[in-house]
């Protein structure tokens, strides 16, 4: 039964992929090999789709896999059901595990040891987010896939080469930083306004 299998495969992914949407990618490759629902090349397309639509990447990829798998099997109604089933499969383990942890936390919130654990945990969590943010920034502000970028590892004098540095990206980043931190009229604006504005700038400057 296709839908049970879809739910099961994504349940497994949700249960074992620890650490964010990108952690689901190896599971998708594995799913391609073991089920034959889609190919490894489809997975690369799914990553592109997940990145170029709103919503968390991991959720987008699950929805898309469910949709195309259903579509191949029985047309549009199957596709819609497949999208729902795959997404629910992915989020069910999270919901169960987090609900258990959350209810545990609620009863021990005021415990001295739990409190002091969070004292150490918070700066660590911020550090982890900062490290992830840094790697996102490096991939977006430098052309990390170019040969020139890899050559920089051996020849640091090329670090300002336009084939290496995304100068338009740096310029936009600098403007955005000033607008979100220093300009009184704009710094309280909703983040989505900056996101949409940047999309327009991206199109105009062909970023």
Partner 1 sequence: MNIYPDLFLTFAKVGVMTFGGGYAMLPILQREVVENKGWATEEELTDYFAIGQCTPGIIAVNTATFIGQKNKGVPGGIIATLGLVFPSLVIISMLAGVITQFSHLAWVNHAFGGIRVCVCILILNAITKLYKKSVIDIPTTLIFFLVFGLSAWLSCSPVWFVLAAAAAGIVLKNVGVKK
Residue 111, interface with partner 1 (CB under 8 A)?
no
Q: How far is the CB of 47 from partner 1 (least distance, A)?
A: 9
CB 70 within 8 A of CB 81: yes
Residue 18, interface with partner 1 (CB under 8 A)?
yes
Q: How far is the CB of 30 from partner 1 (least distance, A)?
A: 16
- Tokens 């940047």 correspond to what residue? 198
Q: Which of residues 87-106 bind partner 1 (CB under 8 A)?
A: 87, 90-91, 93-95, 97-99, 101-103, 106
Q: Which of residues 46-65 bind partner 1 (CB under 8 A)?
A: 48-49, 51-60, 63-64
Nearest alpha-carbon partner for 81 in 94, 55, 63, 95? 63
Among 8, 16, 29, 108, binds partner 1 (CB under 8 A): 16
* Both tokens assigned to 6: 């879809």
* Both tokens assigned to 131: 């490290």
Q: 3-class DSSP state for residue 52?
A: coil
CA 139: distance to chain centroid?
13
Residue 116, interface with partner 1 (CB under 8 A)?
yes
Residue 75, interface with partner 1 (CB under 8 A)?
no
Q: How far is the CB of 82 from partner 1 (least distance, A)?
A: 10
* Both tokens assigned to 12: 């497994």
Cα gap 26→19, rounded to integer Å: 13
* Both tokens assigned to 73: 């099997």
Residue 163, interface with partner 1 (CB under 8 A)?
no
Residue 169, interface with partner 1 (CB under 8 A)?
yes
Residue 1, interface with partner 1 (CB under 8 A)?
no
């Amino acid at each position: 039964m296709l839908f049970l299998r879809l739910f099961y495969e994504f349940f497994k992914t949700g249960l074992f992929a620890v650490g964010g949407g990108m952690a689901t990618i190896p599971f998708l490759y594995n799913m391609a090999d073991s089920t034959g629902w889609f190919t490894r090349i489809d997975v690369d397309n799914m990553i592109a789709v997940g990145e170029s639509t709103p919503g968390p990447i991991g959720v987008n990829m699950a929805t898309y896999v469910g949709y195309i798998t259903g579509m191949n099997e029985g047309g549009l109604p199957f596709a819609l059901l497949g999208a729902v089933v795959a997404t629910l499969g992915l989020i069910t383990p999270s919901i169960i595990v987090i609900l258990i942890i959350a209810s545990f936390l609620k009863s021990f919130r005021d415990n001295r040891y739990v409190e002091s654990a969070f004292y150490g945990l918070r700066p660590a969590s911020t550090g982890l987010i900062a490290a992830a943010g840094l790697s996102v920034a490096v991939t977006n502000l430098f052309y990390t896939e170019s040969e020139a970028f890899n050559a920089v590892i051996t020849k640091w004098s090329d670090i300002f080469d336009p084939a290496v540095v995304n100068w338009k990206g740096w310029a936009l980043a600098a403007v955005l930083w000033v607008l979100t931190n220093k300009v009184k009229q704009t710094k309280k604006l909703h983040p989505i306004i900056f996101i949409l504005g940047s999309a327009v700038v991206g199109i105009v400057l062909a970023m």
